[in-house]
């Protein structure tokens, strides 16, 4: 494996960062998870745009233009001879001191890893996930805003630990007001009487690239979609439910907090959206090998 670090490529064994990097010391940085399909990097421009938004929000100066960062991402896939897989793109605050002050970090560090990933076993796409609501609350917008895709994912990790303890693959996180925000690594959708619903960004949901793609798919398929505040009650009475994320893609949910969703199997509208999403992965994105 070849890993890109600040303009150079290193073998996996030699791909290292300083122990004084503030990304390691404090989770001070931002990242993107990106997928490759059919020799294309899916929604690369949208991911790079979101990366720069996250960086701007924390006053992190990315030392590359979006165009050069896109080119470096494509080249990393080429160096690893990958046409399908997963990319982790990170920008850390860079090497600094043991103090918190980001001004002590003279230059940010850019890291690109291209590999393979499968978040869930195939059986969950055929049968649906069983998930639970957990006590860990989604972060407030005036603390570490959930819209920032930062390297500090401890809020999500604590919720994931609770999912692990419950013996399930994912967990629903509520915001401080009790409304559904998102899962630990995925956005959440429900279907009720042929309409599609997903929590609003203001509830604590991440501005998900796959989330946006599903909303686009729904519009093109003539499926009405909206983003209201939702409670667990709305989830329990849903006809269908699924989660979306770059790694997960679209994965159905069969049971929430012991309540069977719909028929207990992936529903027909979910299947239509999966098919439409898969078609888009064939044509959308930056070409890796000409």
Domains 2-115 and 122-280 share a fold: no
More confident residue, 260 or 120: 260
**Pairing of the two strands 2-5 and 109-115:** antiparallel
How do residues 172-194 score in pLDDT, each as one tens digit?
Answer: 999 999 999 999 999 999 999 99
From the candidates 2, 43, 95, 149, give the one annotated as an active-site residue. Answer: 149
CATH of region 2-115, choose from 3.40.50.2300, 3.30.470.10, 1.10.3720.10, 3.40.50.620: 3.30.470.10
Calculate what percentage of the chain has a pLDDT beyond 90: 97
265 is catalytic: no
Q: Is residue 130 classed as helix, strand or coil in its secondary structure?
A: strand
pTM recorded for the entire structure: 0.96
Residue pair 173/159 in contact (Cβ under 8 Å)? The answer is: yes
Q: Which two tokens stand for residue 22?
A: 């503030």
| Fold annotation for 122-280 | D-amino Acid Aminotransferase; Chain A, domain 2 (3.20.10)
Q: How far apart are CA 160 and CA 200, in angstroms?
A: 22
How do residues 236-281 score in pLDDT, each as one tens digit?
Answer: 999 999 999 999 999 999 999 999 999 999 999 999 999 999 999 9
Residue pair 129/254 in contact (Cβ under 8 Å)? The answer is: yes
Q: Report domain extents, the chain.
A: 2-115, 122-280
Residue pair 30/54 in contact (Cβ under 8 Å)? The answer is: yes
Burial of 187 (0-12, 13-18, 19+ CB in 10 A): buried
């Amino acid at each position: 494996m070849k890993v890109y670090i600040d303009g150079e490529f290193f073998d996996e064994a030699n791909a290292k960062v300083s122990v004084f990097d503030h990304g390691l010391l404090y989770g001070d940085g931002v990242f993107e998870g990106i997928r490759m399909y059919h020799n294309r990097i899916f929604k690369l421009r949208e991911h790079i745009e979101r990366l720069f938004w996250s960086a701007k929000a924390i006053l992190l100066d990315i030392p590359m233009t979006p165009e050069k960062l896109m080119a470096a991402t494509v080249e990393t896939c080429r160096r690893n001879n990958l046409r399908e897989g997963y990319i982790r793109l990170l920008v850390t605050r860079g090497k600094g001191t043991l103090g918190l002050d980001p001004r002590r970090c003279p230059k940010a560090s850019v890291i690109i890893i291209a590999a393979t990933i499968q978040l869930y076993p195939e059986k969950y796409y055929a049968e649906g996930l069983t998930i639970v609501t957990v006590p860990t609350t989604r972060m407030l917008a005036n603390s570490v805003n959930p819209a920032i895709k930062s390297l500090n994912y401890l809020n999500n990790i604590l919720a994931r630990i609770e999912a692990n303890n419950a013996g399930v693959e994912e967990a629903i996180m509520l915001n401080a007001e009790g409304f559904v925000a998102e899962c630990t690594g995925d956005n959440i959708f429900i279907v009720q009487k042929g309409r599609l619903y997903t929590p609003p960004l203001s509830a604590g949901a991440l501005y998900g690239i796959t989330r946006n793609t599903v909303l686009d798919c729904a519009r093109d398929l003539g499926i009405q979609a909206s983003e209201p505040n939702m409670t667990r009650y709305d989830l329990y009475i849903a006809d269908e439910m699924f989660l979306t994320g770059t790694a997960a893609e679209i994965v159905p949910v069969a049971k929430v907090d012991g309540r069977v969703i719909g028929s207990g199997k992936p529903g027909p509208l979910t299947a239509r959206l999966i098919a439409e999403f898969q078609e888009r992965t064939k044509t959308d994105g930056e070409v890796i090998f000409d």
